[in-house]
Structure 1
Amino acid sequence: MAEKAVLDIQDKPDPLRWIVLSLQHMFAMFGATILVPTLVGLSPAMALLTSGIATFIFVIVTRFQVPAYLGSSFAFIAPIIMIREGGGTDGDIMIGIIAVSFIYSIISLIIWKTGHRWIMRLLPPIVVGPVIVVIGLGLAPTAIDMASMIPVFDELGNQIGSEYSLKHLTAAGVTLLTAVIVLMFFKGLISLMPVIVGIVVGYIYSLAIGIVDFDPVLQAKVFAMPEFIFPVIHYDVNISLMALSLMIPVVLVTVSEHIGHQLVLGRVVNRNYIENPGLHRSLLGDGLGTLISGLMGGPPKTTYGENIGVLAMTRVYSVYVILGAATFAIIFAFLGKVMALIGTIPTAVLGGVSILLFGMIAASGLRMLVEHQIDFDSQRNLVIASVILVIGIGGATLKFIVPVLNVPFELGGMALAAIVGVLLNLILPGRPKELIEE
């Protein structure tokens, strides 16, 4: 049973609290949302803009009942990088993102017409729980690198690697410790802001130790238009098929992630979002948000575990706070100076917060297994969970060339782990009756 809400789904906070709580949600997703495009060569400002628009679409599609924020999906980082390495362009990437959104829509339509039980049987807690753990723990190295590593550049300004920095690690530690202290020991308004207080204290500490660079703020324009990338249809079939073959299989991971997020979010706010407003609506909202992102030049979208973590920590479930965060994201995407100032937050500070938030994603997967009373005395459950965890966290990869088309195909990490988990759940004997019966 979820704890009593400080602000429930339809509650509107007073203006000051509304601003503060919305900013906290924006900061919670900010680091990860702009990190994804940074890693794959897309525009961080566009990622921020499309995350805000996608969140509005999601909330509208789900009838203002689901307080979820849509940010950049980490699941597509590897496929996008591989598309670039294979000679693909930004346009190819956008075509892949649009294709993914159509797959979401098709699955949503099927669920609407046939009900959600078949996909819940296909992706039961014994599969989804470990996949969520893989997502959280798969991000763990990212959080640690953000907290402790700094980039190294050559004479031409090109990044050639990274190196350990104790100074930056202390900034991450101060940020993490502050967030934990606020979460555990404070009451009132401050207790609702562990993320933003942690970032502020971490930033002040970073100023004191001299790891904040204000040059980008001085050079930035007051207003700046995000970089739009429009998909271009061309006739290079090999490149297009390669992009699709790399992007589409990841849908299984993101749908698993989506179901897991809806189940976890439902537990947090004490509602059944699979039934009402329905998995088909939340998945459609996710797909339409990803479609808009692909049409504008942003990365694929997904409901964000970081923001679910904030909801769990603060017990502020208001959908209007989420929309406030989306509004700030849209506004900030056009404010060059503000984007530059936010960009001066050291990666180590964001890494300190990410340690807590990414850990909560993994812990939410464990929580799902516990709440569904998954019996690990069962060899069947033990096998499924073990294989998913090792394949996913270990980064196992399946590579081959598609015959006739001569197109490279690669499936690995979370996607491969999810597919293997689904297959094991279907073929291993001893499936529970509720997963077999209609």
Structure 2
Amino acid sequence: METKTVIPSETYTRPGEVIAISRWQEWRHYLTSREGWIGDYDYMYLITPNIWPLNRKYKDVEPPFYGLNDSVPILLTLLLGLQHALTMIGSVVSPPLAIAGGAFYLESSQTQYLVSAAFITTGIATAMQVTRLHITRTPLYIGTGLLSVVAPTFDILAVAFNYTERRYADGTCPTDADGGRLPCPDAWGAMLGTMLCTVWVQIAMSLVPPRILDRIFPKVVTGSLLLLIGVYLIGNGMQNWGGSSNCNGGSGFYALCPDISAPRPLPWGDPKLIGLGFSVFITIIIVEFIGSPLMKSASVILGLAVGCTISGAAGYWSRDQIDATSVGTFLWVHNFKLSVDGALVLPMLILFVCEAVSCMPDILATAEISRVAIDGPEFHSRIQGGVLCDGLGSLISALGTSLPMVSQAGNNGVISLTGCASRRAGLCASFILILMGILGKFGAVFGSMPPSVLGGMQVFLYSTIAVAGVRVLGMVDFTRRNRFILTAALGIGFMDIVSPDWFSQVLAYDGSNVNLQGFLQGVNLIVETPFIVAAVVGVLLNAVLMGDKEGDADGGRGLPA
């Protein structure tokens, strides 16, 4: 493959006009020339399937590499921006759909709105991360300055599910005569209000040197958190794959899946519903085998497209919600009553502390693949800017009624496949994401798709989180001390997953002290949320256990009795 085109800047010698004229000439050439629009990039590489003999030309061929600030042809910028945006779609839509349908049981219009709001706030946060703004008269930055993407965090789901379980159990969220759960928007308003009060801990942690954060939260802790989050969420994805969590053992309106008013309601786990989810899952696998670089980056959305096509042809779709949705939308079309729930304060504080640390490996991976320094003052500055941007992104997102944000490395595959780490592609992706959010019909499609189709996608995405945890744990030196910390943290975390109500009666309180009741509910929520209780155990053990001076005494076979 040919090397990239470098657009030269002309040199002028008149005093005071060198920089201005040089930049003007460069941008004029960039916007008006064939080199600026198309360049010499081999665009067939992006669309050629990995099928013999079509792939013979590109076997073992690496595309030209575009650095952070390199001039990328406009057409390639648009294509790669779209590619990054398509890669993020699954990560953007899955959390709000899970929040709306599986935790708060919001109305369809509110669900579609949360999806649109997630796209808009994701685009804004990603643009901040890519731009890297310098805070005047300080050494601080907002953003990494890398092609780092920001998306809603999956970590909030575990907290939300456990929180709403308690609210439906104590009657503060409504149910119908048969015990079916009704929409509880006030609970989401409580989460938003509590987020606005607790996100400041993450903003404050951006001022802590990264090496200190890494010492308090080593990879043995962060890896176990990712693994537990992935395993926990796979269970939620499987509920949707089978038809929806509402109708698993449901009655009345939810006697069938997704409910009795659906075009083709079926019992939970019916083979037809399982087949719909498999159509998404298998498509993603097939695209990975034979797809072109452009298709591989969009494998999740292609899987959803196949699942939606099959379910639509089989009569599982209803167009009523899509037709009723306006063409355009924006933030605050729907409002939620803000409040602060004391039971959420402690879990949310720990959540944002974990978010400040969990983004660091992803920023490191993006920096490495972008061919910039991964050590030293510049890299530490990128870490600081990334943590601060995530905190401010979560603050802006909560103000926009959406979910907390976190930097992700899910687009690193796109950088690797296309050889483009240019920030221009990241800014283009941000604009496309915001446009997707503004187009109301786009969010309505995701909010109206059958839960089984969504579940097939979710299981795949949630599995990638678990795999990311395994990857981080693979970097750990498995001394006896580290294995002990990992065993204790994962042991209690997995216990939460297999028996989520084990702690519910320990601090049960029905007295009149509202403040004490809120505090005890917060402790219960911490203990019953797998990754949060594992984080507490892991950090404490890491702080108090001395180093293993004798090394790996049992040879890695396990801890002695």
TM range, smaller chain:
0.7 to 0.9
Identify the residue that residue 382 of structure 1 maps to in structure 2. Answer: 483
**What is the Cα deviation at residue 420 of structure 1?**
0.4
What is the 5 A alignment of 1:16-415? 17-18=79-80, 20-38=82-100, 39-40=103-104, 41=106, 43-44=113-114, 45-60=116-131, 61-75=142-156, 76-78=159-161, 81=164, 90-109=188-207, 111=208, 115-150=209-244, 151-152=246-247, 163-226=268-331, 227-229=333-335, 240-266=341-367, 269=370, 275-304=379-408, 307=411, 317-370=421-474, 372-375=475-478, 378-395=479-496, 400=507, 405-406=515-516, 407=518, 408=520, 409-410=522-523, 411-412=526-527, 413-415=530-532
2:152 counterpart letter in structure 1: G
Q: Are the equivalent residues in 2 in contact too, given 1:73–1:301 (CA < 8 A)?
A: no
Q: Are the equivalent residues in 1 in contact too, given 2:119–2:437 (CA < 8 A)?
A: yes
**What is the Cα deviation at residue 426 of structure 1?**
1.7
1:189–1:222 CA distance, 2 compared to 1 (3 A): closer
Q: Which has the higher contact order (CA 8 A, sep 6+)?
A: 1
Q: Are the equivalent residues in 1 in contact too, given 2:234–2:459 (CA < 8 A)?
A: yes
Q: Are the equivalent residues in 1 in contact too, given 2:330–2:438 (CA < 8 A)?
A: yes
**What is the Cα deviation at residue 432 of structure 1?**
8.3
Give distance in 1, aligned partners of 2:363 and 2:215.
16
**What is the Cα deviation at residue 430 of structure 1?**
1.8
Larger CA deviation: 50-59 vs 38-47? 38-47
Deviations 1:204-249 (A, max 9, x none): 222233322222122222234443547757xxxxx65334234212
Q: Are the equivalent residues in 2 in contact too, given 1:193–1:314 (CA < 8 A)?
A: no
Gaps of 5+ in 1: 234-238, 434-438
Larger CA deviation: 283-292 vs 29-38? 29-38
**What is the Cα deviation at residue 401 of structure 1?**
8.1
Give the secondary-structure state (helix, strand or coil) at the position aligned to 1:69. strand
Identify the residue that residue 421 of structure 1 maps to in structure 2. Answer: 538
1:203–1:37 CA distance, 2 compared to 1 (3 A): same
**What is the Cα deviation at residue 89 of structure 1?**
5.3
Deviations 1:68-115 (A, max 9, x none): 222244334246537856757555433311123211111112x2xxx2
2:383 counterpart letter in structure 1: L
1:95–1:321 CA distance, 2 compared to 1 (3 A): same
1:16–1:206 CA distance, 2 compared to 1 (3 A): farther
Q: Give percent identity, aligned residues only.
A: 22
Give distance in 1, aligned partners of 2:300 and 2:223.
25
Structure 1 or 2: more strand by fraction: 1
- Name which one, 1 or 2, has greater alpha-carbon Rg: 2
**What is the Cα deviation at residue 362 of structure 1?**
1.5
**What is the Cα deviation at residue 300 of structure 1?**
1.9
Give distance in 1, aligned partners of 2:329 and 2:215.
48
Deviations 1:280-317 (A, max 9, x none): 21110000011112222222222346556766787765
1:108 counterpart letter in structure 2: S
Give the secondary-structure state (helix, strand or coil) at the position aligned to 1:70. strand
2:237 counterpart letter in structure 1: A
Structure 1 or 2: more helix by fraction: 1
1:46 counterpart letter in structure 2: A
Give the secondary-structure state (helix, strand or coil) at the position aligned to 1:64. coil
TM-score by length of 1: 0.81
Deviations 1:164-200 (A, max 9, x none): 1322221222222221122123335334432232222
1:417–1:373 CA distance, 2 compared to 1 (3 A): closer
Give distance in 2, aligned partners of 1:105 and 1:381.
29
1:292 counterpart letter in structure 2: I
Equivalenced residues, count: 419
1:180 counterpart letter in structure 2: I
**What is the Cα deviation at residue 121 of structure 1?**
0.7
Give distance in 2, aligned partners of 1:97 and 1:296.
12
Give distance in 2, aligned partners of 1:316 and 1:211.
40
Q: Are the equivalent residues in 1 in contact too, given 2:219–2:476 (CA < 8 A)?
A: no
1:135–1:261 CA distance, 2 compared to 1 (3 A): farther
TM-score by length of 2: 0.65
1:250–1:90 CA distance, 2 compared to 1 (3 A): same
Gaps of 5+ in 2: 1-60, 132-141, 173-185, 261-266, 551-561
Give distance in 1, aligned partners of 2:239 and 2:514.
41
Give distance in 1, aligned partners of 2:77 and 2:314.
35
Give the secondary-structure state (helix, strand or coil) at the position aligned to 2:326. coil
Give distance in 1, aligned partners of 2:407 and 2:122.
10
